[in-house]
Structure 1
Amino acid sequence: MNVDFLIVGQGVAGSVLAWTLDQRGCSVILADDPALPSASSVAAGIVNPLTGRKLVHTWKANELFPFLHQFYSGIEQELNVRFFHPKNIYRPFRSLAEQTSYLAIANDPDVQQYVSKAVDNQVYSQFITNPFGGLEVTQAGWLDLTEFVRIIKGYFIKKNQYFEGYVRVEDLKISETTTDYQGLTIGKVIFCDGVQARENSLFDWLPYNPVKGQLLTAVAENYSIKNIVNQGIFILPVRDGLLKIGATYSWHDLDWQTTDDGRAFLESKVRELLKVPYQVVAQQAGIRPSTKDRRPFIGLHPTQPAVGIFGGMGTKGVSLAPYLAEQFSRHLLDGEDLEPEANISRYVSL
């Protein structure tokens, strides 16, 4: 049997790429091993065009953000489901100095398009410590990753194009133009296996710089803010009374275990911010597939063009994947050039 693509790994990157290629009329098999941990199953799925203390423009924000809103809401309409939640992000100022500098940054025309003109600080002050007011970042939101991955999986199962199991590199018979695997002849095998790509002998030369992150889930019955709040940590209302609080960043102890330190850090931060009582009901840890230069890894193998990679999206997979999957599919199907900053050719000399 012949197939155009085998996509290995069904986190956000694999799900988005599989959908994109399927919509272009390709035959796609989506493979995933539920026994392997996945960063997407832990991540909060927040998309934010202005990040960090200096409201830095997310890389390629002007291209990524209109595209991702269209992409996710397009799937929702087509399948009559809901997993994408556009919301503003409220950023309370920590001091008068921060208020002054943020408002000055917000006047920059590049930044202005992502900042709300008027903010009702009163609405927040019942629940959030905000003596200096705050600003609201627009075109943001969150993707319910568990739901999104479940729906994409169901879509491919229905088409009989889903394989549950571990695809071992050693079992692929790779030739110049195709790959044979378990009776299939595959045009291209694309690895979207997140941080596991470091153990993949085809791509272990790429310089990953994984980051561990931890999240809390909390119940706060008297909390009715609908937007995301962000001040060093985020408070994401998943639904009434249920919050996700995160996240930690750590470049050592790279395992999938939660820690007391992680919880203590998040709780100390949230106590400064949250005025209403809350109770932690769960804690999760994940490893984000970040890279040394903070740019994704996309492209075909330099000497074995029948295999490729689509990954290394770190903390921003939900924002990056739709636009870059579209670009990668045009590269694969129409021969268009890849974004140089994301193309793995920048590391081929390694």
Structure 2
Amino acid sequence: MNADYLIVGQGIAGSVLAWTLDQRGKKVVLVNASQRPSASMAAAGIFNPLTGKKLVRTWKADVLFPYLHRFYGDIGKQLGVPLLHSSTIYRPYRSVEEQNTYLAQTADEGIRQYVLEPVDDQTYAPYIRNPYGGLAVTQSGWLDVPVFLEVIRTFFREKEQYIEAVFDYKEVEISEKAVFWQGQTFDKLIVCEGPYASQNPWFDWLPYNPVKGQTLDVEMDQYGISDIVNQGVFIMPVQSNCYRVGATYTWHDIDWQTTEDGKAFLEQKLQPLLKVPYRVVGQRVGIRPATKDRRPLIGLHPAFSTLGIFNGLGTKGVSLAPFFAGQFADFLEGRKELDPEVNIARSFSLYYSGKKDV
């Protein structure tokens, strides 16, 4: 089977890129080891235009969010599976000072366009502590990541363009015009391996900064909020009486093991916020493929134009992937240049200083 692209990894990044290229008429083969631990499978899938304690507008939110709504909405319609769940994100104020600060910030049009007014604080009051009221963020919600990954996998499997395997780099032969793997020829090989990319011999020189994150699965019988609530931790409705709570952020002990410390941290944040009882029924862990400058790693290898990478989407993969997959596809087709902030050319000095041999 010869194809235009061989994509390694079928997390959020690989799935979005594969779909983008397929819809442009390219033949794509996906290789994925679905039994390996995956950052995407642990991700809550939340997209949020206003983040952080200081209420900062997400980088490029004005282009990312309209794009992602269209992208996932179109896939859902085409495949007949609802994937995107729009939801207000309610942020209870921690103090009068925070209330005043946030309200002052909403005078900025860049912030105000993502804020819902007025807010019905009394709707939330029976279930969470919000004595100072709260801010409601719009154009937000969550992607059902496991379902999204499954429908993409099924789509390519039915086209006989999905291979379940642990990819062996030693089986690849690279030339200036093509990539050869298991008797097949591809115009380009693009790796979308998430946290495993740091082990890739072609791209291990890039400035990765993986972040371990843990979440809890909880059940609540008396919780009546259908929106996402976020104050120190997020509470995200998943289905009837089932919720996801998260998340932790650690840059040490980067492994796929859940910890009692992680559970305790999340419960310490959750308990003062909730007014109703809950029970923990599960715990998840993921390693986010973050980078040192908090920007994605996208582009072609400095020595081999047939090798590419689409990675480093960090905690915002759901919102970043659609727009930049489209931009990367344009770049691969010779239509336009990549945004310099995401192009791995910004890190080529690391490759040359290490004199990396491939």
TM-score with structure 2 length normalisation?
Answer: 0.97
Q: Is the Cα contact below 8 Å between 1:223 and 1:240 reproduced in 2?
A: no
Partner of 2:322: 322
1:201-216 map, 5 Å: 201-216=201-216
- The one-letter code sitting in structure 2 at the alignment partner of 1:22 is D
SS in 2 for 1:264: helix
Query: Cα offset for 1:167?
Result: 1.5
Partner of 1:279: 279
Matched, 1:238 2:256: no
Partner of 2:355: none
Structure 1 distance, partners of 2:2, 2:262, is: 48
Partner of 1:43: 43
Percent sequence identity over aligned pairs: 57
Structure 2 distance, partners of 1:124, 1:224, is: 8
Query: Cα offset for 1:5?
Result: 0.3
Partner of 2:82: 82
SS in 1 for 2:234: strand
Partner of 1:114: 114
Structure 2 distance, partners of 1:221, 1:333, is: 52
Matched, 1:145 2:173: no
SS in 2 for 1:282: strand
SS in 2 for 1:163: strand
Structure 2 distance, partners of 1:199, 1:138, is: 38
Query: Cα offset for 1:106?
Result: 1.3
- The one-letter code sitting in structure 1 at the alignment partner of 2:109 is P
Deviations 1:215-248 (A, max 9, x none): 0000001112111000111000111210100000
Q: Is the Cα contact below 8 Å between 1:224 and 1:240 reproduced in 2?
A: no
Deviations 1:258-283 (A, max 9, x none): 00010001001100111111100000
SS in 1 for 2:115: coil
SS in 1 for 2:29: strand
Partner of 1:267: 267
Deviations 1:273-312 (A, max 9, x none): 1111110000011100100000000001010110100000
Structure 2 distance, partners of 1:34, 1:114, is: 36
Partner of 1:71: 71
SS in 2 for 1:334: coil
Partner of 2:303: 303
Partner of 1:256: 256
SS in 2 for 1:166: coil
Partner of 2:354: none
Structure 1 distance, partners of 2:166, 2:100, is: 53
Deviations 1:93-119 (A, max 9, x none): 000000000000111111010000111
Write out the 4+ residue segments of structure 1 that deviate beyond 6 Å after TM superposition: none
| Count of aligned pairs | 350
Partner of 1:92: 92
Structure 2 distance, partners of 1:35, 1:126, is: 41
TM-score with structure 1 length normalisation?
Answer: 0.99
Query: Cα offset for 1:335?
Result: 3.5
Structure 1 distance, partners of 2:305, 2:32, is: 22
Structure 2 distance, partners of 1:239, 1:121, is: 23
Structure 1 distance, partners of 2:311, 2:36, is: 16
Partner of 1:54: 54
Structure 2 distance, partners of 1:197, 1:135, is: 38
Structure 1 distance, partners of 2:318, 2:286, is: 15
Q: CA RMSD in A?
A: 0.7
Deviations 1:110-143 (A, max 9, x none): 1010000111000000101000000100000001
Query: Cα offset for 1:75?
Result: 0.5
Partner of 2:312: 312
Matched, 1:133 2:138: no
SS in 2 for 1:299: strand
